[in-house]
Amino acid sequence: MPPRNISLKEADPLIFDAIEGEISREQDKIVLIASENYVSRAVLQAQGSVLTNKYAEGYPGHRYYGGCEFVDIVESLAIHRAKSLFEYKDSTGETVGVEHVNVQVHSGSQANMAAYLSVLKPGDRILGMNLSHGGHLTHGSKVNFSGLLFENAYYGVDPHTGHIDYDKVREIALEFRPKMLVAGASAYSRTLDFQRFHAIAREVGAYLLVDIAHIAGLIAAGIHPSPVAYADFVTSSTHKTLRGPRGGMVMCKSEYAKAVDKMVFPGIQGGPLMHVIAAKAVAFKEALSEDFRQYQLNTVRNAKTLCDAMIARGYKIISGGTDNHLMLVDLRNKSITGKEAEDALYRADITVNKNTIPYDDKPPTITSGIRLGTPAVTTRGFAESEMAEVADIIDNCLTKPSDERNMSIQRQRVRALCERFPIL
Ligand SMILES: *Cc1c(COP(=O)(O)O)cnc(C)c1O
């Protein structure tokens, strides 16, 4: 057995080298994956701490293990900061507070599982957004627990406008009578109308769950309306626009607080990942700053700049534009599939994901679209002129992917941009 007090490099060179490789990859490529970001050094440090050693089943002040005095401080701070972060003043100047938060869920998916199972039984009905229209696997996909455990129906976007058709959502809800209505998406570029979802949920007697995994950072910064007043449950991941460690959280009205906490532990999880909760607390502190608000404004502005530049080059954007940090490019008028576009861009050191577009006639392994997001590039400092250049590089790659000279020029342009903007 190797001595315990040696560095990773000595103890395990294979893993050390893989991590070094990943550092270079993140530095040397342009990440336009809408769900990715770069955390700060402080977040990394908290996550790489001795808190990983501690068992802390239970909640602050009520643990099943001794020695929890420091992890209690950590989790209490995470909860307190999450509440401050998502508290806001409504249009009448009234403060809307977050009544309860659970920061122990390991991921966005487990946040949804905990929220569903806190009030639903297997076989109950969930109405969520169609996966191929921008919804998420956990909103009722057949290959996910949400589709295996519950009965599902789906709403989507209007084929002409690309916007959610709220009248249609209401119609489906009246017909299907779900016990839970789920709002929120992974690939929808427009502002969500939570008031409207709330009205529909009330009309059919359903709980309303809003999944803000993608837009949590925008909501925290006050540049997307908040669902907190309207939803029974607000679930999120913590690693997308919120720029924290990989993880999740559940916010809910106080009447569901006990049920949610019991469903997280002992319901679906064991001991909490205290090192991750510490990193969440650090990220929440960062997100409470004016810097973070500016960052979210820049992210949205960069998305608009990229979107306009793509439209100017003849690309179609689903719904015709973006209100948030991402857009879905419809490649059907270009002679390239989503998969080919993803591959071509990867060869020029730009990382994107292929994405089905609403009413796509190609399978999810091919697709007719790509999803572009600006949270990661905005973190490293890209602004409007860089976004315009990125659009030009993308267009050149997608227009002439088999022209090796062209691809090499685009790769050099990417390299030059990345060198100017270090990730840390
Ligand atoms: C990313 C995402 C999730 C799940 O997050 P994981 O942490 O990957 O489990 C849930 N809902 C939506 C809408 C998402 O975009």
Tens digits of residue pLDDT in 266-307 = 999 999 999 999 999 999 999 999 999 999 999 999 999 999
Atom 3 in ligand 1: which residue has the minimum CA distance?
Answer: 108
pLDDT band, residue 1 (cuts 50/70/90): low
Distant-in-sequence, close-in-space partners of 402: CB < 8 Å, separation ≥ 6:
none
Domain final residue, candidates 287, 310, 345: 287
184 and 324 share one domain = no
Q: What is the mean pLDDT of residues 189-204?
A: 98
Tokens of 298: 């820049």
Block residue for tokens 């006639």: 361
Distant-in-sequence, close-in-space partners of 41: CB < 8 Å, separation ≥ 6:
424
Atom 1 in ligand 1: which residue has the minimum CA distance?
Answer: 213
140 and 175 share one domain = yes
Whether 405 maps to a domain, the answer reads yes
Domain that holds residue 323: 290-420
Ligand 1 test: best mutation among 237, 238, 326, most atoms within 8 Å of CB? 237
Q: Whole-angstrom distance between the N-terminal and C-terminal Cα of the chain?
A: 35
Atom 15 in ligand 1: which residue has the minimum CA distance?
Answer: 186
User: If you average pLDDT over every residue of the chain, what do you get?
Assistant: 97
- How many of the other CB atoms lie within 10 Å of CB of 20? 12
Domain final residue, candidates 262, 287, 312: 287
What's the number of CA atoms in the CB half-sphere (13 Å) around residue 120? 28
pLDDT band, residue 424 (cuts 50/70/90): confident
List pocket residues of ligand 1, CB cut-off 6 Å.
35, 107-109, 136, 138, 184-186, 211, 213-214, 237, 248
- The closest alpha carbon to 242, from 264, 215, 265, belongs to 215
Question: Ligand 1 centre from 136 Cα, in Å?
Answer: 7
Q: What is the C-alpha separation between 151 and 171, in angstroms, rounded?
A: 17
- pLDDT score recorded for residue 200: 98
The torsion angles phi and psi of 270, rounded to 5 degrees, stand at -100, -130
Tokens of 260: 């949610």
Beta bridge partners of 58: 63
> Which atom number of ligand 1 is nearest to the Cα of residue 246?
7
Distant-in-sequence, close-in-space partners of 141: CB < 8 Å, separation ≥ 6:
131, 147
390 near 396, Cβ under 8 Å?
Answer: no
Q: What is the C-alpha separation between 329 and 327, in angstroms, rounded?
A: 6
90 and 219 share one domain = yes
Task: Give 121-168 pLDDT, tens digit per residue.
Answer: 999 999 999 999 999 999 999 999 999 999 999 999 999 999 999 999
Distant-in-sequence, close-in-space partners of 17: CB < 8 Å, separation ≥ 6:
none
- The closest alpha carbon to 375, from 286, 296, 307, belongs to 296
Question: Ligand 1 centre from 107 Cα, in Å?
Answer: 7
- pLDDT score recorded for residue 304: 98
Domain final residue, candidates 265, 287, 309: 287
305 and 270 share one domain = no
Residue-wise over 368-403: b if at least 16 C-beta within 10 A, else e? bbbbbbbbbbbbbebeeebbebbbbbbbbbbeebee
Task: Answer whether residue 103 shows pLDDT above 80.
Answer: yes
282 and 352 share one domain = no
Distant-in-sequence, close-in-space partners of 366: CB < 8 Å, separation ≥ 6:
337, 338, 339, 354
For the chain, give the longest Cα–Cα distance.
65
131 and 262 share one domain = yes
Whether 39 maps to a domain, the answer reads no
Q: What is the mean pLDDT of residues 37-63?
A: 98
Q: Write the CATH number for 304.
A: 3.90.1150.10
373 and 246 share one domain = no
Whether 14 maps to a domain, the answer reads no
231 and 268 share one domain = yes
> Which atom number of ligand 1 is nearest to the Cα of residue 248?
7
Atom 2 in ligand 1: which residue has the minimum CA distance?
Answer: 213
219 and 321 share one domain = no
120 near 180, Cβ under 8 Å?
Answer: yes
What's the number of CA atoms in the CB half-sphere (13 Å) around residue 218? 26
Whether 253 maps to a domain, the answer reads yes
Q: Write the CATH number for 193.
A: 3.40.640.10
360 and 275 share one domain = no
Q: What is the C-alpha separation between 134 and 214, in angstroms, rounded?
A: 11
197 and 65 share one domain = yes
- pLDDT score recorded for residue 2: 63
Task: Answer whether residue 3 shows pLDDT above 80.
Answer: no
Torsion of CA 381, 246, 150, 130, to 10 degrees: 10
User: How many domains is the chain partitioned into structurally?
Assistant: 2
360 near 157, Cβ under 8 Å?
Answer: no
The torsion angles phi and psi of 384, rounded to 5 degrees, stand at -60, -40
Block residue for tokens 């979107």: 307
